[in-house]
Amino acid sequence: MKGIILSGGTATRLFPLTATTSKQLLPVYNRQMIFYSLNVLIKAGIKDILIIVAPEHSGQYLNLLGSIFKDYGIHLYFEVQKVPRGLADAFIIGEKFIDNDSVAMILGDNIFEKDFSKEVKNFQSGGLIFAKKVKDPERFGVVKFNQEKKAIRIVEKPQQWISDYIIPGFYIYDNRVSKVAKKIKPSKRGEIEITQVHNYYLKQGELKVSTFQGEWLDAGTFDTLLEAGQVVKEKKIYKNFDPLIEKAIANFNKELKALAKKKLL
């Protein structure tokens, strides 16, 4: 299983905060947002992770993450997404990286309280996505279930109510996903929609949609970014990090402090 974190885009809803840095490098309580996505993948045992970034922020990602896991068996790779073309574009950019493996992709601005290790390790083929009940489903991709709680329809930002269950930004697919994404025609928004990937596997009878409990935070606006920090602190989500990440951050901080001290002398 490979891992992908999509951290591109311009995040205009967070201007001027994102005028000088990537949204996923903004702080959520005591660390940058990107670490929460890394934690989901690393806790699940994924050791090869591709981070897709915008060209103007690529240097910042390298400064933070370029060598932070070099002594811990985690291999990070970086690709530049010159133009945001939709979530499914990540599978096209990462086609050679995915190769013959399955892939778990997470959006860099999504924070989960749940540990998905079991789901990742038990995955075999097809697709597995997740559903969460929310109060404002119209903002997201929405999934409709039948009476047997089986997914029967997935719609991106529906204008009419379909369901209260939305699809958060964590998806697991087999190695066919890149070929599927390459066949998708851009939507009216000009994007290669991830919903179309879901629907392809759904029509093939190979998509499983699993509901889950626990906090899910989409830190893409001022309010949700503030809320994310508060929830992470109050529910102590920041204490749920893999020990490997804690050690890597601690060592990174130690090196930075030593370097700062030398410059002051």
Classified by CATH at the fold level, domain 2-185+194-264 comes out as: Spore Coat Polysaccharide Biosynthesis Protein SpsA; Chain A (3.90.550)
Q: Domain segments of the chain: what residues?
A: 2-185+194-264
> Is-above-0.85 flag for pTM?
yes
**Contact yes or no for 109/134 (Cβ under 8 A):** no
Q: What does the pLDDT look like over 46-69, one tens digit per residue?
A: 999 999 999 999 999 999 999 999
pLDDT of residue 263: 78
**Dist. CA 169–CA 111, nearest whole Å:** 9
pLDDT tens-digit map of 143-199: 999 999 999 999 999 989 999 999 999 999 999 999 999 999 998 888 999 999 999
For residue 152, what is the DSSP state? Answer: E
Rg (Cα) of the chain, in Å, rounded?
A: 18
Query: pLDDT, tens digit, for every residue of 127-154?
Result: 999 999 999 999 899 999 999 999 999 9
Residue 220 has pLDDT above 70, yes or no: yes
Higher pLDDT, 260 or 36: 36
How would you classify residue 209: left for phi > 0, otherwise alpha for psi between -120 and 50, otherwise beta?
beta
Q: What dihedral do alpha carbons 112, 172, 147, 139 form, nearest 10°?
A: 50
Question: Of the candidates 13, 73, 71, 29, which has an alpha carbon nearest to the alpha carbon of residue 49?
Answer: 73
